[in-house]
Amino acid sequence: MDGFLNAIVLLANFALVPGAAYGSQLALGALGVTLIFAVLRFSNFAHGETMSFGAMITIFATWALQSWGVSIAPLPTGLLALPIGIIVTVAVVLASDKFVYAYYREKRSDQVIFLIASIGVMFVMAGLIRFIIGPDDQIFADGARFVFSVRDFRAVTGLEEGLALKTTQLVTLVTAIVCVVALFLFLGKTRTGKSMRAYADNEDLATLSGIDAGRVVRIAWILSATLAVIAGVLYGLDKSYKPFVFQELLLPIFAAAIVGGLGSPVGAIVGGYIIAFAEVLVTYAYKRFLGHLVPPDWMPDGLAQLMGTEYKFAVAFVILVLTLLIRPTGLFNKRAA
């Protein structure tokens, strides 16, 4: 029995807890992508940089708060700075819509044109970020590092294996749940949310029935940017903020959105967790896990690892390709993408 518990704790410590936190971050990112796709009907490649930009503003606000001695310990100060990051980023994103995308919307340009315009926005934002904060790592997590550490866990349970829960992981999970619940309440219960869904389902019909298209687009951008900033800040708090990382993150985020079905909020969340757990579980080495479960002479010689960790991003890619081959519309999409 102890062996079984040890195995579960081990897997939780190295795969399940980090996977859940990573999955939440991906899910929040993918939600932003999927909202823009639902309303504006294009894949927003600038989303990763929006996350990065929001995290950067939040970092500046965090530094300011820290220098004034404001703290909400044991929680990270970054959470307090989050609203400032969201407000500034929303303003920037709305400006990018006004100066870039609005023009193409007026011309009723093709999806591909929007997509390419968003790549342009991505490069401009990436340059701006490197210009303002530089390419270096920024560690801005403060407050208590652990809810409970491996040592605490071992002392309490007496198990051989330990489990750590970082404050940032707990914050990520709780924030993700709050955001998702709030988003679904908004989309399902409020008049604005319903009008957004109507617009997403059929643009012309919605406009004819008196829904203000400009307003729906603005709200989609505001929601998407807000989710992006939250995802970016949580990722930065949990790991470390590094401007280059967000371009890499674009792949698992898009994979998550596409696996779930572009335009489907539920799909984005499920997709986020599928991608995250697939990346973690496929590259996990099960040697010690098996060691707790099977008798010593059944133990495999190697690490019992399906794929080296350097191929982590390849896992997201393979799932993306498989989805596009087998079910191109994604798991939860009603409409063909």
Residue 139 touching another protein (CB under 8 A) = yes
> Minimum distance from CB of 279 to another protein (Å)?
7
Contact 230, 152 (CB under 8 A): no
User: Which residue bears the tokens 């999955």?
Assistant: 23
- Exactly one of 4, 103, 123, 244 binds another protein (CB under 8 A); that residue is 244
Q: Tell me, what amino acid is at 8?
A: I
- Exactly one of 248, 299, 300, 322 binds another protein (CB under 8 A); that residue is 248
Residue 155 touching another protein (CB under 8 A) = no
Question: Which of positions 259-318 make contact with another protein (CB under 8 A)?
Answer: 279-280, 283-289, 303-305, 308-310, 312
Contact 261, 333 (CB under 8 A): yes
Residue 162 touching another protein (CB under 8 A) = yes
Helix (H) or strand (E) holding 333: none
Annotate 162-201 with DSSP letters as a single string: ---EEHHHHHHHHHHHHHHHHHHHHHHHSHHHHHHHHHHH
> Minimum distance from CB of 113 to another protein (Å)?
32
- Residues linked to residue 165 through DSSP beta bridges, in sequence order: 148
Cis amide bond preceding 83, omega within 30: no
CA-based angle 68:70:73, to the nearest 5? 145
Range in contact with another protein (rule: CB under 8 A) among 104-112, 160-168, 200-208, 263-271: 160-168
CB-based burial label for 281 (10 Å; 0-12, 13-18, 19+): middle
Residue 15 touching another protein (CB under 8 A) = yes
> Minimum distance from CB of 213 to another protein (Å)?
37
> Minimum distance from CB of 11 to another protein (Å)?
9
Question: Which of positions 119-138 make contact with another protein (CB under 8 A)?
Answer: 135, 137
- Residues in contact with another protein by CB under 8 A are 13-15, 18, 22, 135, 137, 139, 145-146, 149-151, 162, 164, 166, 235, 238-240, 242, 244-245, 248-249, 279-280, 283-289, 303-305, 308-310, 312
